[in-house]
Amino acid sequence: MSEALYLDPLGTAVLAAKKLEELTGKPSHDVALVMGSGWIGAADYLGTPTHEFPATDLPGFLAPTVAGHGGVIRSYTLGGVNALVFLGRTHLYEGKGIEPVVHGVRTAVKAGCRVVVLTNACGGINREYKVGQPVIIRDHLSLTGVSPLIGADFVDLTDLYSKRLRELVKSEDNSLVEGVYAHWRGPAYETPAEIHMMRTLGADLVGMSTVPEAIAAHALGAEVLGISLVTNAAAGVTGEKLSHEEVMAAGKAAAGRMGELLSRVLVKI
């Protein structure tokens, strides 16, 4: 099936959406949530899913490769809202190309989702940010230069991260601030000089996900909300070294707060 994904990405997303309908018995879903590393624990605060299965049960999905990146799909019905939740995602640094990276959100939109919520764990470039702090993504810098779009698809990205959704989240938690997210391919973290460059360019956050999915979802007409959890100070900010364990621990510590925030936002979306 993965060949079909590369040959016909949207067709494969339609097939995956059909299989999702078969597996859940729900003719459509309304909202999708992509739970990045550090956010998987937050999903447990959403309530009890009606269905849960490995992402690989749907056409076009790859098995996960990183510890703590689930590769599991859940379906919830929460206050009349059908929510599709991806525990884990595929990243550019896995080297499988851009198609698998955006296949989840394309499947979600083909399944009917009008809103796509993208979460991630990231490094804090902005010196005012603390580890464990959630930040709403206001805008991004695509530093990879990789787009999920092919051909003359000249999509406007002026309101990529929906103002309506950003305001909705802030009305639920007025302590939340907004920032600019820089997308870095990885898998190596940045050098201190690269972080200095990004700060100079206007970035507040840096991570290895979210940007391609946001573009792909928006290009198909979905409204996008992005929330980052700062799980480490970016390279050179504190002088400490960066570790994946630190990231997972910060995610675990914030899971309750993040899960409750998402629950409240979901039913109002």
Q: Which of 244, 246, 253, 260 is catalytic?
A: 244
Q: 59 vs 123, which CB is nearer to ligand 8IG? A: 123
CA 103 to chain CA centroid, nearest Å: 12
Number of H helices, E strands in the chain: 7, 9
**Catalytic site residue 91?**
yes
| Residue 209 is a catalytic residue | yes
In the stretch 183-202, what mask flags binding to ligand 8IG with x, by CB under 6 A?
A: -x-x--xx------------
DSSP 8-state symbol, 161:
B
61 contacts ligand 8IG (rule: CB under 6 A): no
Per CB under 6 A, does 206 bind ligand 8IG? Answer: yes
Q: Is the peptide bond before 187 cis (omega within 30 degrees of 0)?
A: yes
CB of 122 to ligand 8IG, least distance (A): 5
**Integer CA distances (angstroms), 202 to 157, 164, 175, 205, in order:** 17, 23, 22, 9
Binding of ligand 8IG by 122 (CB under 6 A): yes
CA pair distance 143, 268, nearest whole angstrom: 33
215 binds ligand 8IG (CB under 6 A): no
Q: Which amino acid is at 216?
A: A
- Residue 1 CB: number of other CB atoms within 10 A? 12
Q: Are 121 and 233 contacting, i.e. CB atoms less than 8 angstroms apart?
A: no
Q: Is 103 a catalytic residue?
A: no
135 touches ligand 8IG (CB under 6 A)? no
Q: Say which of 32, 55, 108, 208 is annotated catalytic.
A: 208
Pick the catalytic residue: 32, 83, 108, 121? 121
Q: How many residues does the chain have?
A: 269
Question: Least CB distance from residue 50 to ligand 8IG, whole Å?
Answer: 30
Residue ranges binding ligand 8IG (CB under 6 A): 121-123, 184, 186, 189-190, 206-208, 231-232, 234, 242, 247
Which active-site residues does the annotation give?
Answer: 37, 69, 91, 93-94, 121, 208-209, 232, 244
